[in-house]
Structure 1
């Protein structure tokens, strides 16, 4: 990429204005502070791969006090969702029961979050803000562990088989409203981002009705052995409401841990390839 950027600089005859540095940002030395830092650091569910760590390093070392970060405001959202493609295929195939195979398939899915395209009509509640931060002042220690009790109320009848995550980021615009980049579920006639949505797949599907409560704790923490990875833990919460989702039918022993087992870089390459397979 640095080589292509250098070629582009020469093609546009701005060699006297633009300098391309091919290096890890942690190894770069600059003669002076900078006015703006622009970085596309966002991963799946916003934090995947922890590339923001390097951006924070660059901010603390290079950015002027009055400088700007692009993007600057970041919000992670969550909502219960339904993904028919996860389980329906294995329920009954031309009259042949496939329950055992279907259960094995469910077990496979619950080992790691799935990156997939969700239909907006299958989002079963209004999105709830899980975490918000500003890249101008967020500190590394704040990103080590993020925990949120999410209290959702279903807006329609349906089935829950996953908890979905997506994010919005905002960019300053001079004398105009902020520019929004959203990775929320979109209709088929709207352009989808490569981030799609992240779905924490549940071991069992649960029917819900309008106004029913789906309450859970979402914990996102850095992996101790590999700080570039995050572990995601989902726990359903008890509630005094009689129509609250039964936690023991939703997850095994009330608590199920979902971890990214695969190499972060290989996962990113797979989903960034544009393949929907």
Structure 2
């Protein structure tokens, strides 16, 4: 569902005969859809993300008993581990985390760093009685320490629930006012309803202590919420004053016109206030983006075929369409027999969708709601959630986050998502045209050298079509996403991969794309199931690929995502490229992606490549 327009040909676009011939020459053979499972590690958020809910039991953790950070002592729960570390080894993890203001990822790095130190020098670590961590320590930003040192380490998912659980620490913080105490005109602490209660037994005293602690936590949460709301309102006011008010002042005629149009709204029409800074939703307000997506026949017919070929799944059911756009998926569902369709979008396009639905006579079945799925209220649970949320490299634009929120808020037990599963795949290409376009172009620009223009140009991942005949390695799975169970936390990932050369050739770019499946019951699609139409039909599945294909009719608007190398790797059949792939949301813009590929070449003959340029690399890329 990406509206981002990048360089490269688009399906159905016009071009010169020469360009068309060159375009078609790149697509003369088909890609083999045999999947090879990569050897991948768990990400900092847990590669087995679909099991996070199962990790938490009544004590906030399960699995193996947690182990001390410094010695071999084993304890029943995480609280005992941290108490032991404080008393025996002189290291208060919770206080350190609070003092240094460590976020979730930094806390993970800290645990793994300490375990790594203890693993490398166990005797020294066990005897040490005083540990400390300096603010700004380099390892707190090193992704290497996101890898668990101990498999299924209980502490990695238990420490957040333990912050400030100790009543003494909680009372200290609240009394000193260093974190949670309100200041000035902020919230005033109400008199405790438990303050005048007298206890007669030890059990009553313990119960009263728990009630007071719960009351303190609730008040602290209210204070933080109040402060956050005040900070957001201040930020919003500043942005409006410094940017949007200037725009209105510089365009009085336009402002007046908008006011006149608002006054001419039909009676009963709800005017929804606009989020002035919400460029993502505004980008989907224009018809041309939706036409581009609708013209993608692989995409649109993929959804249509699943819905029409499985009408019994939709007949009489309540369907939720997340990010409905023009309303096309909603109307597919209504025509398939859905009793009720709830269509949600936060863009201006929903007003055109409303007219489309009336024009086609589905207004009694389809109800439209404008707003964010995270905030909107719907009248009931739903049986099916449909959404075309996919972006470049699948996760660009982060709309899957919203679909998973919709699943957790509105999907009834036994309900399904369509699509039900996606899979990010990677291979490698020998095509050097992207390197020529991105780097070598600047060597001679109308007779002038412009080498400085090359700086960082390859860090932006290229979205374009890749010819199947240029693929020189097998294909591996970087990330499998079962939509019924995966969590938002699991969408950032770290995966080990191994690509094997299929012929003597060279690698100029790594190539990423994704496959999509629809299932009737929402069950996971095994990793060895491909995406070829015959195989899908034999298994009763629907789906499509965004990978390299040999005909224009099979191409999608998502194209492929290329990570171009500055210097090609010249390899032989059987050589391997082994490495780790990192994918994270950008901290400043969570709809963008920060990507990293760390790799080394393993020659089949065992020869040393350490001295050869480019045979080992740590590369940074991004999608904006």
TM-score w.r.t. length of structure 1? 0.82
Question: Are the aligned partners of 1:165 and 1:198 in contact in 2 as well (CA < 8 Å)?
Answer: yes
Q: Secondary structure of the equivalent of 2:368?
A: coil
Question: Are the aligned partners of 1:233 and 1:257 in contact in 2 as well (CA < 8 Å)?
Answer: yes
Matched, 1:76 2:424: yes
CA drift of 1:112 comes to 1.0
CA drift of 1:185 comes to 0.3
Greater RCO (Cα-Cα under 8 Å, separation 6 or more)? 1
**Residues 95-244 of structure 1 mapped to structure 2, 5 A cutoff:** 107-144=455-492, 146-173=493-520, 177-237=540-600, 239=602, 241=604, 242=606
Q: Deviations over 1:177-198 (max 9, x none)?
A: 2111210101135431000000
Aligned length: 256
Question: Are the aligned partners of 2:350 and 2:368 in contact in 1 as well (CA < 8 Å)?
Answer: yes
Match of 1:250 among 614, 617, 621: 614
Matched, 1:31 2:31: no
Q: Secondary structure of the equivalent of 1:40?
A: coil
CA drift of 1:233 comes to 0.4
CA distance in 1, matches of 2:518, 2:450: 44
Q: Deviations over 1:220-245 (max 9, x none)?
A: 11222322222100111364852687
CA drift of 1:122 comes to 0.9
Summarize the Cα distance change of 1:243–1:210 in structure 2 as closer, same or farther, 3 Å threshold: farther
Question: Are the aligned partners of 1:248 and 1:254 in contact in 2 as well (CA < 8 Å)?
Answer: no
Q: Secondary structure of the equivalent of 1:48?
A: coil
Q: CA RMSD in A?
A: 2.9
1:20 corresponds in structure 2 to 368
- Could you say which structure has the higher helix fraction? 2
Question: Are the aligned partners of 1:80 and 1:214 in contact in 2 as well (CA < 8 Å)?
Answer: no
CA distance in 2, matches of 1:112, 1:244: 31
Summarize the Cα distance change of 1:41–1:10 in structure 2 as closer, same or farther, 3 Å threshold: same
CA distance in 2, matches of 1:88, 1:223: 28
Matched, 1:54 2:402: yes
Q: Secondary structure of the equivalent of 2:355?
A: helix
* Greater mean alpha carbon deviation, residues 117-126 or residues 181-190: 181-190
Question: Are the aligned partners of 2:435 and 2:564 in contact in 1 as well (CA < 8 Å)?
Answer: no
Question: Are the aligned partners of 1:247 and 1:254 in contact in 2 as well (CA < 8 Å)?
Answer: no
Question: Are the aligned partners of 2:576 and 2:601 in contact in 1 as well (CA < 8 Å)?
Answer: no
Q: Secondary structure of the equivalent of 2:591?
A: coil
Name structure 1 gaps, 5 residues minimum.
Answer: 265-277
> Of the two, which has the highest radius of gyration?
2
CA distance in 2, matches of 1:149, 1:247: 23
CA distance in 2, matches of 1:21, 1:232: 35
Name structure 2 gaps, 5 residues minimum.
Answer: 1-348, 522-536
Summarize the Cα distance change of 1:62–1:105 in structure 2 as closer, same or farther, 3 Å threshold: same
Q: Secondary structure of the equivalent of 1:224?
A: coil
CA distance in 2, matches of 1:132, 1:85: 30
CA drift of 1:138 comes to 0.6
Summarize the Cα distance change of 1:247–1:31 in structure 2 as closer, same or farther, 3 Å threshold: farther
1:267 corresponds in structure 2 to none
Q: Secondary structure of the equivalent of 2:367?
A: coil
CA distance in 1, matches of 2:390, 2:608: 34
CA drift of 1:157 comes to 2.1
CA drift of 1:106 comes to 5.7
Summarize the Cα distance change of 1:231–1:247 in structure 2 as closer, same or farther, 3 Å threshold: farther
Question: Are the aligned partners of 1:87 and 1:106 in contact in 2 as well (CA < 8 Å)?
Answer: no
Summarize the Cα distance change of 1:225–1:79 in structure 2 as closer, same or farther, 3 Å threshold: same
CA drift of 1:83 comes to 2.4
